[in-house]
Structure 1
């Protein structure tokens, strides 16, 4: 099962180590203090950052996997005595919006006062009302460079695919029309590539296209010193 949200639980500065891999509700890890009893739902897991999560958070916080089926259940969990009561930080993935919606003003306002930060797993944070977070003293973080390379390589593939008609050729093969119905294709070499917005992704795309001896131009709100 794919993890949508990992909610980091426990009071501010609380102790008690937790195995992010899914300690059972009755298992103890670290402190035996009742307030630091591990609260981990076993219906999900942190897949790609399993060990990193244990290294960063183990011993200083509990980890609760968000299992709310809808927005109402999620917000009720932050009420006194709820399953997310005392949460100090939230790790958010875009896929959670399918169940609890975006982090708009209504959701932010309903979070318990203990919440101090929201770590968004993505470059864009348009699904989080940062003004509402600022008003409530909640710090928001994102990962602006995490997908630069993956997005740029996808862009390079699409450029080559369009020039070489890969998609149309594949359709012909699947329909049994081998080497028919295709016009002469083009090579990327010595073509001009125009990039709108030379941020991390655009700059990486330019780097990937240089071996093709392409002429690269860009337009951005401000000059990029790395261009």
Structure 2
């Protein structure tokens, strides 16, 4: 009886051991299967993400201030492509001389010979004075090759310069294609002959318009400003507006 009980007890222990061993194998197999499934899922997701073509959205705008102005000389464009864009229009504002007072359109310029006390192109001058004036006894002379100093930005004059020739700037092609509009304020140094001697941009909505505005301003011609019955150099401000007509 005792032997039978011992055998029965050993059999039960063996069954329990086999059951625990089987459970351990099943647990390990399940864990390995779960980790393998996670790894395969990660690989599949990465593969689909890499192989899927990515769509790059076009830029919503161009910051002209952060890139150099593109060259427009070597750009070719077909007539059909040009026809897809609205007609362009450049407008030139009324020049605003400095200081801002009323401009007289009836101003006349006295000839150089009427400027009292000055004779040009005289030779054998010996003594130099201020502003390029040379004194030889009772006759003052002017040196034509003496460079005149630039006037201050704000200078009082009796008669402000009046434009007699206005040139419109060219609308940059890149600005047309991008639909860019804006205004450029150009300060012009108008000399005694009414020619624009120097230009500088004071304010600009977009740098792409700066060079066309300056090139146009250099071709303007004015009746020069008058002060003390003589022509003087003065600064004048011209706004150039670049707009496109909507169709």
TM-score (norm 1): 0.19
TM-score (norm 2): 0.17
**Greater share of residues in strand:** 2
Q: Which has the higher contact order (CA 8 A, sep 6+)?
A: 2
Between structure 1 and structure 2, the one with the greater Rg is 2
